[in-house]
């Protein structure tokens, strides 16, 4: 297992290098630059700006300079926000997204698995039909529809929650729910389908026949294996949610990392584009690694060299 992990981390570094390179050249290929404004900057000033940020140097040279910086852990200054560095931006915004993401994932996982298991156990029953109906509903409704509805009901009409912004536990509830509803539904359906399949397996029936207590059978024999598809979904979901959702963070004005994925491209803010992309890529690759390790823990048939 140890060698497996080391090999995977080495592969991750190679993958990250590819991500940096492709993103760097793609970003510079889009027309327009960070200093294009409606009131165009006079030529001489544009020249000064480009010199300051090395934008007038040949592209391959800028690439080498950037790689050198990134190897020293310096993701560079932002072009749009000249008094902030990309390191600062990520280190200040990521914890906010991560906190929001943690709650969303917790709700989605616990409620999803709970509902999914119950539905599987009482297949065809009331709980099953109702849960699965709501599951389809919430998978289909996009977060930018759900979020303003919440804002209107709980904020404007009932005045029990603040409509937007960040700071107290009250500010967490609506965004976390908006983020969690879709994944909860997916996890519920995955768990249900998986549990149904597992419960029909011979080894489960054999365990019951051997007199092992029902609850132990369900948890240790059935649920453990039923969760494998859920794990496949869950870890990339953590990567996506923890690094910030653009839509939910915009609607609730949460100072997380989500906005930068879109705005950095709009602003042609090259250093921020690269910084957040590399960050997301690293996080995602790590989550996939954790997923693979979790498989090994859950299913004894899976072993790595």
Partner 1 sequence: MKKFRVFLTVVLVFALIFGLFVGCGQQATNENQQGGEKQEQQPTEMVLRYNLGTEPETLDPAKATGVPEMTVMLHTFDGLTRLDKDGNPVPAVAESWEVKNDGKTYIFHLRKDVKWSDGQPVTAHDFEFAWKRALSPEIASEYAYQLYYLKNGEKYNTGEITDPNEVGVKALDDYTLQVDLEQPAPYFLSLVAFPTLYPLPKHVLDAHPDWPKGIDKDPSLYVTNGPFLLKEWSHHDKIILEKNPNYFDKDKVKLDKLVFYMVEDENTAVQMFENGEVDVIDNIPTAQIDQWKGKPEFHIDPILGTYYILVNVGSDKTMGGEKNPLQDVRVRKAIAMAINRSVITDKILKAGQQPAYAFVPPGIPDAKPGTDFRKVGGNYFSEDIDKAKQLLAEAGYPDGKGFPKLVYLYNTSEGHKKIGEAIQSMLKENLGIEIQLQNQEWKVYLQSRNEGQYDLARAGWLGDYVDPMTFLDMWVSTSGNNDTGWANPEYDKLIEEAKYTTDNAKRVELMHKAEDILMSEMPIIPLYFYTNPRLVKTYVKNYAPISLGWIDFKEAYIEK
Q: What tokens appear for 198 in the block?
A: 């597992």
Of 241, 160, 226, nearest in space to 194 by CA = 226
Query: What is the per-residue binding string for partner 1 in 73-102, x denoting contact by CB under 8 A?
Result: -------xxxxx----x--xx---------
Query: What is the per-residue binding string for partner 1 in 27-46, x denoting contact by CB under 8 A?
Result: ---xxxx-xxxxxxxxxxx-
Interaction of residue 118 with partner 1, rule CB under 8 A: yes
CA angle 145, 149, 151 (to 5 degrees): 120
**Residue number with CB closer to partner 1 (167 or 236):** 167
Across the strands, what pairs with 85?
77
- Is 42 within 8 Å of 276 (Cβ atoms)? no
- Is 248 within 8 Å of 180 (Cβ atoms)? no
Instruction: Classify 167 in phi/psi space as left (phi over 0), alpha (psi -120 to 50) or beta.
Output: left
Positive or negative, the Cα torsion across 114, 116, 119, 123?
negative
Contact positions with partner 1 (CB under 8 A) in 8-27: none
**Residue number with CB closer to partner 1 (92 or 136):** 92
Query: What is the per-residue binding string for partner 1 in 176-205, x denoting contact by CB under 8 A?
Result: ------------------------------
DSSP assigned state of 154: I
**Residue number with CB closer to partner 1 (4 or 114):** 114
Nearest approach, Cβ of residue 76 and partner 1 (Å): 14
Interaction of residue 56 with partner 1, rule CB under 8 A: no
Contact positions with partner 1 (CB under 8 A) in 259-298: 259, 266, 268
Nearest approach, Cβ of residue 233 and partner 1 (Å): 19
Of 195, 174, 179, nearest in space to 131 by CA = 195
Interaction of residue 114 with partner 1, rule CB under 8 A: yes
Cα of first residue to Cα of last residue in the chain, in angstroms, is 6
- Is 156 within 8 Å of 163 (Cβ atoms)? yes
DSSP string, 230-268: HHHHHHHHHHHHHT--HHHHHHTT--SSHHHHHHHHHTT
**Residue number with CB closer to partner 1 (69 or 292):** 69
Positive or negative, the Cα torsion across 231, 15, 68, 46?
negative
3-state secondary structure of 162: coil
Q: What tokens appear for 233 in the block?
A: 């979904």
Burial of 242 (0-12, 13-18, 19+ CB in 10 A): buried
**Residue number with CB closer to partner 1 (10 or 92):** 92
Nearest approach, Cβ of residue 14 and partner 1 (Å): 32
- Region near partner 1 per CB under 8 A, out of 9-17, 63-71, 135-143, 215-223: 215-223
**Residue number with CB closer to partner 1 (268 or 287):** 268
Interface residue with partner 1, options 1, 18, 106, 297 (CB under 8 A):
106
Contact positions with partner 1 (CB under 8 A) in 141-170: 148, 151-152, 155-156, 159, 162-169
C-beta neighbour count of 104 within 10 angstroms:
27
Q: For binding to partner 1 (CB under 8 A), which residues are involved?
A: 30-33, 35-45, 48-49, 51-52, 80-84, 89, 92-93, 103, 106, 110-111, 113-114, 117-118, 121, 148, 151-152, 155-156, 159, 162-169, 172, 213-215, 218-219, 250-253, 255, 259, 266, 268
């Amino acid at each position: 297992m140890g060698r497996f992990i080391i090999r995977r981390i080495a592969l991750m570094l190679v993958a990250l290098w590819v991500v940096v390179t492709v993103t760097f050249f793609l970003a510079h290929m889009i027309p327009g630059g960070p200093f294009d404004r409606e009131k165009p900057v006079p030529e001489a000033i544009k020249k000064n700006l480009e010199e300051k940020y090395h934008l007038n140097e040949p592209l391959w040279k800028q690439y080498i300079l950037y790689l050198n910086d990134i190897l020293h852990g310096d993701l560079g200054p932002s072009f749009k926000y000249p008094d902030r560095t990309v390191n600062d931006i990520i280190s200040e915004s990521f914890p906010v997204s991560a906190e929001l993401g943690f709650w969303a994932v917790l709700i989605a996982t616990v409620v999803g698995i709970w509902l999914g298991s119950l539905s599987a156990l009482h297949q065809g029953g009331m709980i099953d039909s109702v849960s699965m109906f709501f599951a389809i509903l919430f998978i289909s409704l996009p977060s930018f529809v759900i979020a303003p509805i919440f804002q209107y009901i709980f904020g404007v009409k009932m005045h029990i929650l603040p409509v937007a912004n960040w700071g107290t536990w009250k500010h967490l509830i609506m965004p976390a729910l908006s983020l969690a509803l879709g994944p909860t539904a997916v996890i519920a359906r995955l768990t249900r389908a998986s549990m149904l399949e597992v419960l029909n397996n011979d080894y489960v029936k054999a365990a019951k026949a051997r007199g092992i207590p029902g609850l132990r059978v369900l948890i240790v024999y059935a649920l453990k294996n039923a969760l494998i598809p859920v794990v496949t979904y869950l870890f990339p979901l953590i990567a996506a949610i923890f690094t910030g959702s653009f839509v939910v963070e915009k609607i609730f004005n949460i100072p997380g990392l989500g906005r930068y994925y879109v705005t950095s491209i709009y602003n042609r803010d090259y250093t921020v584009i690269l910084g957040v992309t590399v960050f997301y890529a690293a996080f995602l690759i790590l989550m996939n690694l954790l997923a693979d390790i979790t498989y090994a823990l859950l299913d004894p048939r899976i072993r790595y060299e």
